[in-house]
Amino acid sequence: AQSVTQPDIHITVSEGASLELRCNYSYGATPYLFWYVQSPGQGLQLLLKYFSGDTLVQGIKGFEAEFKRSQSSFNLRKPSVHWSDAAEYFCAVGDEAGGGNKLTFGTGTQLKVEL
């Protein structure tokens, strides 16, 4: 069965510093990978997605992620963090094998930004 691991539960960075959030997945076929962000009291907003092609994908709000098949990873990066980036970030893998295209989420990484 597919699974997603986000090893960092909490991360604190200073505003302006670079950011990398880790995500490892387990999936038998070519994965569809996503990063979502959840601000307090809000729903999940898609940051970026990977399906095929270029392994470096660009998303909204200046985020990017790199798919590395050899490491089963899909880490999220941002070169300079803004205070408004404080939120919870979820990595997810899509699975249509069951006919429903369900998303399997990781446990999330809570990002705190220090001013």
User: Residue numbers of the site for other proteins (CB under 8 A)?
Assistant: 32, 34, 36, 41-46, 49, 51, 90, 92, 94, 96, 98-108
Minimum CB–partner distance for residue 43 and other proteins (Å): 4
What single letter denotes the amino acid at residue 108? G
Minimum CB–partner distance for residue 98 and other proteins (Å): 4
Q: If you count DSSP H runs as helices and E runs as strands, how many of each does the chain have, helices first?
A: 0, 12
Percentages of the chain per state (helix, strand, coil), in multiples of 5? 10, 55, 40
Both tokens of 100, joined, read 């429903």
Q: Indicate the residue among 62 and 94 with the shorter CB distance to other proteins.
A: 94
Minimum CB–partner distance for residue 61 and other proteins (Å): 15
